[in-house]
Chain A
Amino acid sequence: MSISKIADTSQNNDQLYSSLSQNLKMIKNTLGNSNDLVIREITIGKAEQFTLAIIYVDGLSDKISISNAVIDKLMLDIDDNNDAEIEKIIRYLRDSCLTVGDVNDIFHFSALYNSILNGNTVILVDESSTGIVTSTQGAKDRAVMEPSTESVIRGPRESFTETLRTNTALIRRKIKSPNLWIKSRIIGEVTKTEVAVMYLNGIANEKIVAEILSRLDRINIDGILESGYIEDFIQDSKTTIFPTVYNSERPDVIAGEILDGKIAILVDGTPFVLIVPALFTSFLQSAEDYYQHWMISSLVRLLRFFGISLALVAPSLYVAITTFHQEMLPTPMLISIASQREGVPFPAVVEALIMEVAFEVLREAGLRMPRTIGPAVSIVGTLVIGQAAVEAGIVSAVMVIIVALTAICSFLFPAYGLSNTVRALRFPLMIVSAIVGLFGLMFGLMIIILHLCSLRTFGVPYLSPFGPLILQDQKDALVLFPRRALLTRPRLISQKNTVRGQKYFNTKKRNQTKV
């Protein structure tokens, strides 16, 4: 957090004392004498008449910049002949002495704590109730690395880190426009986490921006540790199992969405940046779709739609067909499946549930295990559910194929959020299929589709451009059209400035003069 943001607006009666020792005592008391608090007292002036204290928190600040730009200046380079009064010396320090980028005055304890806990350094001078904040942030953070959840073959290799400032910079490096605006909020009574809303002014829908900010302002919680907290607070429907907020750890994806007129929400401390409004189709699109030939991307997208359908219904379809609609199978296939089912003690649905649950358990185990034990899980999994179960006659081989197919298809999702939804929905569908066959499956699917149609994400229908059908937006939905056909932005997202490459700067000015 830059120090200019630490607005000293405290209304409380917590002004700094004019006595330095009193101030320091107060600070030490408030922080509970925590040993990472560093207070360095020095004296300056011709007759060493001014006592100063340099206060910072060890580990959050950049020690080199503190010693170069603050301590060096104050102890060595300072003009010792200066013997003016206290006010002058403070102005002198702030305006001429300290060689840091960002310097500000503070008057309250609350602002002081805020500053030092964000890694800044505060200089207090004896006999003055004004403090000077210098920006010396320098906590250890992770370097920008390759994305671990959304990998691509072709495309940028960088991903967001846990530091908000790095993240905003990563986006700004892609969109060098003065219209890329950032509105920030501090959320969390205790954690004081910075949340930044980033959008293209003039392209993003202002109503949505205002709505997001008001929803952020309404959040009242002690702490925000991940963007998932924010996601839960700001989404339209709290009861839906479908993700209505998109997240990505790839700056190029976020930049692309911002260019579409969507709005990014960055949270300090997490590499996952949120995007709203998130449409259903976003979850089936990968960044790479836009980097390779449109025909290939279209085929891959169709494959993904096919994959999600299969991941959702494959086990239910198997259960429904083998227990109710055997006549739908070709005879040789029926005989083949029937021969595998010979001797299996369970009904098809129980068999399917056992296998699906076993797979989910393995998947979860593989995910949470320490990396060194991971391979053991997969070996046991392959042997147990792959082979032994079939050979023992507990399940049929074709069921293993169905589960494997479902599992592979559920890995096809470019966005993990939807994959989880599909995982969860598979089970109720299996149960209705087991009760009433394909009729039940269709019934379940219809409920899902109706539910999807009823969803809205920040006022935009979740299922658009399919429901409502927007013909012109089909260019970037099920298939991807060539780039020259993509010159307009999605219609419901940004209602103005829908043409890409148009000089929206000028139009905006013209609009303003009219008003």
Chain B
Amino acid sequence: MSKFKAICLLMILTVLLSGCWSKRELNELAIVVGLGIDKLDNEFEITVQVVDPSEISSKQPSTGRSPVITYHSKGKTVFEAIRKMTTVTARKLYFAHLQIVVLGDELAKEGMNEPLDLISRDHEFRNDFDVIVAHDATADEVLNVLTPIEKVPANKMLNSLKTSEKTWGTTQSIKIDELINTLNDKEKSVVMSAIEIQGDKNIGEEQTNVKRSKSSTLLKYAGLAVFKEDKLIGLLTEEESRSLGFLRDKIENTIEIIACPKGGTLSTEITHSKTKIKGKFEKGVPKINVLIDIDQNVGEVECHIDLTKEKSIKYVSKKTEELIKKRIEETIHTVQQNYRVDIFGFGEVLHRTNPKEWKKIKKDWLTVFQELPVKVEVHVNTQGTGTMENSLVNKPKGE
């Protein structure tokens, strides 16, 4: 057989092998950007947020329709519920562009292992979307809220999650694969950002919500939710969430407010933070040392302090050190006493330091964790004072 014939045959064969079975035109797809999972009377309730592309497009004039549509369906399993949804959707649901998965409050309290199985198993789902938990609301309610500026609420949720993680530090993004890994990991517990609805839930569904300059209903991140295994057990406050951020070395940028010597306050902007956690066993007793290196700039001065003097800068650094150290120690204490789960990953550190000793305490690690001595050391370096030196407050009046 000539080479040409062979090539022709191969080409024909490939066509037969695959065909156009997976072909789908863009205008035959319903692009799912948000997925909500709730539990209601032993049934899963699934909510999907689908974009209406022609409403999102900047070119065509808006026809007044909502930019996203949410569909609901119930089923004994998540898979069943999703397939059932085809009876109400106009097009095939396409999950590859899923941005965010919202778990309902009730579901999270009862355990999230079951519904997570499908979304990590199905090939149509990618593994790069974030998972968050709804606080005091169902996932359905969260996904129904229309958001201003970002026409797609799922994008809004993802963006504020990331922006707030970067510049404030009370949220932490967790991707599905990381979540699954942590759930399998006995040494570390899951924390997940919690979102809440501010304002009237019913108005949030209306388009009027985005037609006014001051939206009456907004989605807001409330802090970090703590899980014991796969069950939600509590919510960290903002302060505690940020301390956790420091401990997990996730803080990129945040601010601190300290008191001035002669009254008033001074805010500093933390520009860089590096956390090192070291573990050791002393005669079989585990110990943790936390060392945090922080660079900061003076951000806002509302008191009398002469920043041109080195003494003042040292004061600022020292005060910040004390503040952060105190808060972190308090957070560790609260978690050890109230939640009794290792969300900091201390177990992992100890395991890495001394696997032999770790095996001995591994079984009752959570009991050990409650009494674990943790030494926190914070080094703060104040680098700059911004574009001006002394505050306007400093100037004597009448001059």
Contacts and interface: CB of A to CB of B under 8 A. Distances in A.
Given A327-B97, A335-B31, A437 B25 contact: no
A336 interface: yes
Contact of A339 (B14, B53, B99): B53
B14 A440 contact: yes
Contact of B97 (A323, A326, A432, A447): A326
B25 A323 contact: yes
Contacts of A337: 26
Contacts of B359: none
B15 A344 contact: no
B96 interface: yes
B20 interface: yes
Interface string B23-62: 1111101010100000000000000000101111101100
Contact of B60 (A324, A331, A339): A339
Contact of B96 (A326, A336, A340, A440): A326
A341 B54 CA distance: 9
B15 A435 contact: yes
B33 A323 contact: no
A437 B22 contact: yes
Contact of B25 (A322, A340, A432, A447): A322
B126 interface: yes
Contacts of A339: 53-57, 59-60
A443 interface: yes
Contacts of A435: 15, 18-20
B53 A338 contact: yes
Interface residues of B, number: 31
B53 A327 contact: no
A336 B53 CA distance: 7
Contact of A334 (B23, B31, B59): B31
Contact of B15 (A347, A348, A436): A436
A222 B223 CA distance: 89
A270 B54 CA distance: 56
A348 B18 contact: no
B24 A323 contact: yes
Nearest to A322: B26
B7 interface: yes
A397 B97 CA distance: 23
Contacts of B19: 435-436
B14 A341 contact: no
A397 B155 CA distance: 25
B18 A326 contact: no
Contacts of A327: 96-97, 126
A96 B77 CA distance: 114
Interface string A313-326: 00000000011101
Q: Which residue, A335, A341, A434, has most C-beta atoms of chain B within 10 A?
A: A335
Interface residues of A, number: 29
Contacts of A434: 20, 23
Nearest to B7: A447
A435 B23 CA distance: 8
Nearest to A440: B14
A439 B29 CA distance: 21
A332 to B, nearest CB: 8
B94 interface: yes
Contact of B27 (A331, A335, A341, A440): A341
B25 A347 contact: yes
Contact of A439 (B18, B25, B126): B18
Given A335-B53, A339-B54, A342-B53, A326 B15 contact: no
Given A331-B97, A334-B97, A339-B54, A436 B25 contact: no
A335 B99 contact: no
B25 A348 contact: yes
A342 B54 contact: yes
B94 to A, nearest CB: 7
B283 to A, nearest CB: 54
Interface in B44-85: 51, 53-57, 59-60
Most chain-A Cβ atoms within 10 A of its Cβ — which of B7, B20, B27? B27
B31 A338 contact: yes
B126 A326 contact: no
B26 A338 contact: yes
Contact of A338 (B20, B22, B27, B96): B27
Contacts of B55: 339
Contacts of B33: 331
Nearest to A328: B96
Interface string A62-81: 00000000000000000000
A240 to B, nearest CB: 12
A348 B97 contact: no
Nearest to B58: A336
A67 to B, nearest CB: 63
A335 B53 CA distance: 5
B26 A348 contact: yes
Contacts of B99: 331
Contact of B23 (A324, A343, A443): A324
A323 B23 contact: yes
A335 B51 contact: yes
25 contacts: A323-B23, A324-B24, A327-B96, A327-B97, A327-B126, A331-B33, A331-B97, A331-B99, A331-B155, A335-B31, A335-B53, A335-B57, A336-B53, A338-B26, A338-B27, A339-B53, A339-B55, A341-B53, A343-B27, A434-B20, A435-B20, A436-B15, A436-B18, A436-B19, A443-B14
The 9 closest A-B pairs by CB, nearest first: A327-B96, A339-B57, A339-B53, A338-B53, A341-B26, A341-B27, A338-B26, A342-B54, A331-B97
Interface of A: 322-324, 326-327, 331, 334-344, 347-348, 397, 432, 434-437, 439-440, 443, 447
Given A323-B25, A324-B22, A334-B31, 10 more contacts: A323-B24, A326-B29, A331-B97, A335-B51, A336-B53, A337-B26, A340-B59, A342-B27, A436-B14, A440-B14
